A and B are shown apart, each in its own frame.
Chain A
Amino acid sequence: MATTQSTNSEEAPITPKKSSMLLDPNEYNKSDNAANSHQRNDSSYSRNFSLIDMYGEEAASSPTGPDSNDHGSTSDEQLDYQMLQSLDEFSFGEISTDHNVSQQTITQIRDTPTPQPPQHDEDDDDEDRLEIRQQYVIPTSMGNETKILNSPFDRYGFRKSSTHHGFTLEEYNDWFKEYSEYSYRRKKKWELLMKSHGLPIQEDDPVPTRFPPKSDKVKKMIRKGIPPEWRGNAWFFYAGGYDKLNRNAGVYHQIVENTKNIHNKDTEVIERDLHRTFPDNIYFNESIDANGNTLTVPLHSKETPLIKSLRRVLIAFAHYQPQIGYCQSLNFLAGLLLLFMEEERAFWMLVILTERIIPKVHSADLEGVHTDQGVLMLCVKEYIPQLWSILGTTFEGERLSDDQILSKLPPVTLVTSSWFMSLFVGIMPTETTLRIWDILWCEGSKTVFRFSLTILKLCLDNPEFDGAKHSPGGEADQIELFQFVQNFPKKILDCSNLVDLCFKKIGGYGFGSLSQDEINKCREFVSKQREMMNYKRRLSTKMTSEERYTLMNSSDGQLDGNNDIHDVYGFHRPIMGGVVWNRSISNKMKKTFAKRNSSRSST
């Protein structure tokens, strides 16, 4: 208890700028319930959640919330201005940062060993919780980069390459050589940004806990990547973690205390998943030695501190959110958070994620998965029609008509569902996932849709996709397509390029124009349609076939239309609107880019 107090008092003055998102009255009610929820018993495990409430939260926050000054809602004049700005940065940024690199100060280089299996006390849970948290992420500094390059593990303790990865060790190292310089330059830029906001980095405390408030500049910086060792604090800050934590002081530790010895269905599945969470990570798998060899010690003989933390967080979460309980994939979300922050914070981040960002995705009926996949498919149809013409089929390979998208989700959603459930953890290379997480915690759920669309568009643009598309018989061979879409993201090592493709209007796909408002509306639409569909289905199970026929063909207002629900959703904003609207400007820009590129490469 003492530690909790002190942590809070240290951090209390740093409460971030209150946004409407954090002041949402729904939030207050929830957390009031939540504060007592550890006292719930089994009978209170009711599932009376209203979808509209859930989605309402994000929707309510967005018009005035920090998300509103989004690229998606900026006017075209602003867009042009932004283009010019990015041109400026393009021409001068690179040069000045190179200069920075040569002037690097020795003080930044902290002596950090190559990742080693952490030392820890055995068997004493309390000890683990109170001990000073080990820094798991190797800080960005020139000295460390070389060490990482020579290690079989990456900056976060993950094996760089294995049979599960879409690239070789050599490919990783080639990418890393360049990327580590980029990371270093970005960190210098962040230090300047911090200084300009009166938050200079202290030498004795190189990881800041406060960050500049959200702004266009900050958003741009975040999209280019947060310094790896700052990530935990930055995510927590931008996601509204301090607010959540301050309003629930001590709650987490109380739940942990109360759930210490409980055994139920959730804890059973959790136990089975603990050791299946990041078995390729040195901080999760005790049997990997520093050289990357897997030792043949008896399994589960020892647990790393992170496995113990993971158990506590997942059990506490299952207890705190009984309508979710434990859902496979939460282990990966919590696991990744734990590499970056202490467990109490990881717990609240998980709460923020499941309440606000991807509601109901992990709930017992996975309704949020169906809703979000419906939204994603509507987006694909609207914004990548070429791909829709390939993917928009039923399991039998027949084309889906417009009014069947939501009632018969196309089979490719079996692949894309996991992108939403695990938020790309395990789907993409670690750094790529982390770059998306940087943006996600600051910008919200639209990020998941934007990047899903980017990946799908990349699949479509890949020459190999054509091969997977056509089986020799001429009929689209679904399993080949699935395998392609499933395996393709594993190869996306070049995370900066992915981010550029997602947001850039010129030379990219411009999915930054897909606004949160659009996503919220579409989510609400889909969830309503699904509610109606499920209502009809429930009714029809108790009916004779004749009654069912009548119901399905009923045309009264509430059960409108036919069996297949109304799926035609009108998107408001064409994604490439700006560019199409002013093609001559975009052509000029492209020429300017090309010129600058060629002149740069010739020098």
Chain B
Amino acid sequence: MSAPATSRFAQFKLVLLGESAVGKSSIVHRFVKNTFDELRESTIGAAFLTQTITIPETDTTIKFEIWDTAGQERYKSLAPMYYRNANAALCVYDITSRVSFNRAQDWIKELRKQAPEGIVIALVGNKSDLSDNREVELSEVEEYVEQYNSEATGGGSTIIIAECSAKTGDGVLEVFNRIGRALPVEEAINAAGGRARQAGGRRAGGVDLNRPRAQAQQGGSCC
């Protein structure tokens, strides 16, 4: 099934960050290929995938360039390369691990300090199917975000909160849809008129009628 043709197209870079083994790659594979492996090999360095979504209300196709990263702490020295020019960041934690939630908070702090202004941040708790072993309550995540938003200086956008399960697929697509709606599509399309990159270092795609067709075909069975 190819996506319905839309009149607008924009491309955004999204980076996944978070403690190792929280399920970053699994979320991406659920989103891109709709598959899940109980055991997935640890990601070394980075992995790159793309997927497009359509947002019917605004008649827009959004192509995500997904930069999936390795979770181990020492890879942090490579992280600036990942989130440079990123339009969105998915900070993932495992709802059964408090440590991983703390780590996700560290990432948010770092992003607020280092990442491009206006980056859309989503704080996502994975493994919602394991809620029997839950260590992180949604209410405390809300509390954290509320406090964070009130402390944040400047007009940074608010953090999107969500829970999902890459295993069952629950909530995964929704996360990306919500990010897609929060992304500055207008701005990107306008900026793309002349050149594809904005002064602030953010990059965005252009309006191209040929493109969604080509992408939709690639999205299904990405090599």
Residues of A within 8 A of B (CB): 163-164, 166, 269, 272-273, 275-279, 285, 287, 294, 299, 327-329, 331-332, 364-366, 369, 395-397, 409, 411, 414-415, 417-418, 421-422, 426, 472-473, 475, 479-480, 482-483, 486-487
Which residues of chain B from 144 to 187 have a CB within 8 Å of any chain A CB?
none
Of the A-B pairs whose beta carbons lie under 8 Å apart in the complex, a sample of 6, sorted by A's number, is: A272-B21, A327-B72, A414-B67, A472-B210, A473-B206, A486-B47
Q: Is the CB of B74 within 8 A of A364?
A: yes
Distance of A273 Cα from B196 Cα, bound (Å): 40
Given contacts A473-B196, A473-B208, A483-B50, 14 further A-B contacts (CB under 8 A): A163-B33, A273-B20, A276-B39, A277-B41, A279-B39, A294-B38, A328-B43, A366-B74, A414-B81, A417-B46, A472-B208, A473-B206, A479-B13, A479-B65
C-alpha gap A418/B48 in the complex (Å): 13
* A426→B70 CA distance, assembly (Å): 15
Residues from chain A with a CB closer than 8 A to the CB of B138 are: none
Q: Which of B33, B74, B201, B203 has the most CB of A within 10 A?
A: B74
Pairs A-B, 3 closest by C-beta atoms: A279-B39, A418-B45, A479-B65
Interface string of B21-62 (1 = CB under 8 A from A): 100000000000101011111111111111000000000000
Task: Select from chain A the residue with minimum beta-carbon distance to B22.
Answer: A272
| Chain A hits for B74, CB < 8 A | 327, 364-366
Total A-B residue contacts, Cβ distance less than 8 Å: 109
Cα separation A441 to B53 with both chains bound (whole Å): 47
Residues B223 and A328 in contact, CB atoms below 8 Å apart: no
Known: A273-B20, A279-B39, A475-B196. A329 touches B208 (CB 8 A): no
What residues of chain B lie closer than 8 Å to A269, measured between beta carbons? 20, 72
Q: Are A482 and B206 in contact (CB under 8 A)?
A: no
Tell me if B196 and A328 are in contact (CB < 8 A): no
Partner of B40, one of A276, A328, A415, A421: A276
B93 lies within 8 A of chain A by Cβ: no
Q: Out of B21, B201, B210, B211, which one reaches A396, CB within 8 Å?
A: B201
B82 within 8 A of A: yes
Q: Distance (Å) between the CB of B119 and the closest chain A CB?
A: 15
Whether, in the assembled complex, B3 has its beta carbon less than 8 Å from a beta carbon of chain A, the answer is: no
**Cβ-defined contact, B45 with A426, below 8 A:** no
Chain B: interface residue total (CB-CB under 8 A): 43
Residues of B at the A interface (CB closer than 8 Å) are: 13, 20-21, 33, 35, 37-50, 65, 67, 70-72, 74-75, 77-78, 81-82, 84-85, 196-197, 201, 203, 206, 208, 210-211, 214, 222-223
Is B42's CB under 8 angstroms from A328's CB?
yes
Q: Contacts A277-B41, A395-B85 known; A415 to B46 CB distance under 8 Å?
A: yes
CB–CB B42/A276 < 8 A = yes
Known: A276-B39, A276-B40, A473-B206. A414 touches B20 (CB 8 A): no
A421 touches B45 (CB 8 A): yes
> Among A278, A364, A366, A487, which residue has its beta carbon within 8 angstroms of that of B41?
A278
Chain B residues with CB under 8 Å of A329's CB are 42, 44
B48 pairs with A479, CB closer than 8 A? yes
For the complex formed, measure the closest distance between the CB of B111 and the CB atoms of chain A, giving whole angstroms. Answer: 16
A417 in contact with B45 (CB, 8 Å): yes
Q: How far is the CA of A482 from the CA of B48 in the complex (A)?
A: 7
Q: Which residue of A lies closest to B74 (CB)?
A: A364
